[in-house]
Structures are given as C-alpha cells and as structure tokens.
A and B are shown apart, each in its own frame.
Chain A
Amino acid sequence: MMDNEYNTQLDNDENNLLNKLKTIWINEKFAPNLLDYQNEIISNVMEKIEEKEALCTEGIQNKSHQFTADIYEMEIERLKYIVKCYLRLRIKKIDQFYTSVLKESQSNTELLSQHELKYTERYKSYMDEYFKKTILSSLHKDHSTMSPDHYLEPQLNTWVFCKPKENLGEYLIDEDTIDFKKTSIYFVKYRPIKDLVQAGRMDLI
C-alpha cells in the first residue's frame, strides 16, 4: 500500500512545489527588503507535511513499513526546516524594519501573512512604548517623537546576483541598458530590479 503511494508522491507536482519553496526561501534570503508573503506555496507545503505525517503514523503501526516511515519523517524534517528558515528570515526583517513594513502593508495586503501582521503591530506597539518610557517622555515636547531618519530602512542599493526566469528584454539600469536573458546571471544593484523580483520574473541567487 505504502509503496504505491510512495510512487505517486514522487510525481512532478511535488518536485515543483519543493523547487518553488526553495526559490522563495533563497529570494527572501538575498533580498534586502521584505518580499510578499507566498501564502499559496507555504500553505501547500504545510498540507503536504500533514499528509506525510499521517502516512508516517500509519507506517509506524506496521513494523514492515518502519523503514519507509523513517524516510518520510526525514523528508518532513527537511521540509519543515526550509519553511522555518523562510519564516525566520521574515520575522528578523520585520523586527528590523517594522515601521517601513507596516507602512508598506497598508497599501500592499500581500506583504504580510495575517499572523505576521498581528506580530508586527504588537511588536511596534511595545517598541514605541519602550522608547517612550526610556527617553522620549523625559524630553521637551519638541523632541519627544522619533524623526523618520531614526528608523532603520532596508538598504536597497546593495548589489545582488540575479537570474531572470525568462527573456525579459532590455531594461535601463543606472544609465546602462541591460538585455536580461534567461540563460545568464547578472550582478546588479537591487533597487532597479526590485519590482522584477517582486513580480516573480527574476530570482536572486
């Protein structure tokens, strides 16, 4: 029973999903700003993990399938590891850039997952509270707010390696025209290609 299921589990869909998961993780890792939350991919992966966990519990009851169940479990651990890394990177970025993240999330509802939004709002509330208590409230009222340049902003001018997913044609980047071809890898500033990465037409590596 389990052998048949094992074969169907290995179909292309699953490999595609894994590749997508890896891509969004790597993109998030190399992008200096917070990218949109990939709800569809993450919830698909979580579903797959649950499915496999169910298969595992079945396997454990039957001694002869113990070996296959162990392999499944290893796979579950690996998937969970990538998901955790992805979510952890996002939380770290939120911690750092919470003000700009919240501002951006007002116009872009895709940016944060619902849990992340709640996390960010609470985070902001006790960060503000903390600075108010420690210093801002003891200052004269003309100085008792944070000026915008006191907050950290993502460094969009950093250089990144990127790889177009398709032939994108010519783009004007820092007064140079670059013809983005699918087969090549480019080393450019992040700011001009930000929207291409966000739209999923370019991957960072």
Chain B
Amino acid sequence: MFTKSAIELVKEIRQTDSIPHYNDTNIKLAINEINVLYEELLQVLMANGNEKSQPYYLSNSMTYFSVIYRDKRCVLAYLNERLKRIKEYRWSSGNGLLPDQLKEKLSQDEIQFFSDYDKNLTDYNIKVGLDLTVDPQPPKDLYVEVRVIKELGQVVLNSGATVTLNLNTTHFLKRSDVSNLISQGSLEHIV
C-alpha cells in the first residue's frame, strides 16, 4: 500500500507523549518510495509526451503526485514533532545535558540539533541577562525550603554564599539561588 510507512511514523508519534525511538527504517522506506514513484512518474510522462494531458495519464500522475506529497508531509511532520519534544525537554530540564536513556532514542542529527538549540538559547539567555528556563512558577516567597536528593557537597550560590549540600539534608535558601538546582533535579522543593 502506498504511504504505509509514512503513516506508521505519524501513528507512532501520536501514540505517546514522550520521545519514541528514532524510526530510521520507516523514514528510509518513505524516502525511497518518493524517489521510486517520482522516477516512474517522470518516465511515464516522457514516454507519453503528447498524450500526457489525457485523463488516463493525468489521473495516473495525480495519484503519484499526491502519494509523494503525502509521504513528504508525513515524514516532515514526524521529524518536526520530535524536534518540538526535544525542545520542550531542553526547557523543562533547564540544562543542556541529555540523559543516556534519551540519547539512545535520538538520531545523530537530533543530538546535533539539541546541542545547537541549547547553545543558541543559552547565548540568548546570557545576552538578556535572565535565564528564561528557570522559575516557571510565579514567585511566592523569597526563601524556600529544599531537600537535597543528589549529593552536591560544597556549592557556591549566585549570591556569593557557600553552603554544604549533603544528601537528605534540608536547607532554607533563597529561591533565586536554588531554582536551577531544583529544575536539574538535585534539590527538591518541600511544600
């Protein structure tokens, strides 16, 4: 069936909200289908130069063309949706590091894209002097109580103070100092 592999791609990405494994096989199949069909289409058109606007040939060409168009569209949608989720991950994690279990699901180009995107966003954040990815919640209190869930040892905070963050200890610290540690998952906000 035409466009089968491309439709599978779209279905696959719709089934889940996370990032599924990069489906290289289906993408290759879809690309291959486009190229094969287009070659055939060109040959038909060449062979029947004078009659190509006859309804018989025209409907044939139209079918081929819409298959090609749909294939391309589906693959692009699949790739774009993946990029969108990768970008969302960059925003919610608050840093430019990919964990291994996510990394193995991405293609080489996607990893490259992630680091490009991270670099661009970090540069922009530095230029405007604000980190846009931290603090997605409106600030209620100046100080927050946090529990350390990853051993950090001695840490120098933005405000210049030094604290020792040992595992499972709780601290009462300035929100602006610890918000990036919270989004990285090193600290936990105790409500």
Contacts and interface: CB of A to CB of B under 8 A. Distances in A.
Interface of A: 46, 70, 73-74, 77-78, 80-81, 83-84, 87-88, 91, 95, 115-116, 118-119, 122-123, 126-127, 130-131, 133-135, 138-140, 142-143, 146, 150
A21 B68 CA distance: 48
B55 interface: no
24 contacts: A74-B142, A81-B135, A81-B139, A84-B130, A84-B131, A84-B132, A87-B130, A88-B132, A91-B132, A119-B121, A122-B120, A123-B120, A130-B83, A130-B109, A130-B112, A130-B113, A131-B76, A133-B109, A134-B107, A134-B109, A135-B75, A138-B35, A140-B35, A143-B72
Nearest to A150: B76
Contact of A135 (B27, B127, B139, B176): B27
B79 A91 contact: no
Contacts of B73: 150
Interface residues of B, number: 37
Given A91-B124, A131-B76, 17 more contacts: A46-B129, A73-B142, A77-B176, A84-B132, A87-B130, A87-B132, A91-B121, A115-B127, A123-B117, A126-B117, A130-B110, A135-B75, A135-B76, A140-B34, A140-B38, A140-B39, A150-B73
Contacts of B117: 123, 126
Contacts, number: 84
B31 A139 contact: yes
B42 to A, nearest CB: 8
A112 B77 CA distance: 27
B14 interface: no
Nearest to A121: B120
Interface of B: 27, 31, 34-35, 38-39, 68, 72-73, 75-76, 79, 83, 87, 107, 109-110, 112-113, 116-117, 120-121, 123-124, 127-132, 135, 138-139, 142, 175-176
A95 B129 CA distance: 20
B139 A126 contact: no
B30 to A, nearest CB: 8
Contacts of A95: 87
Contacts of B72: 135, 139, 143
The 7 closest A-B pairs by CB, nearest first: A126-B116, A77-B139, A115-B127, A88-B132, A119-B124, A122-B120, A138-B31
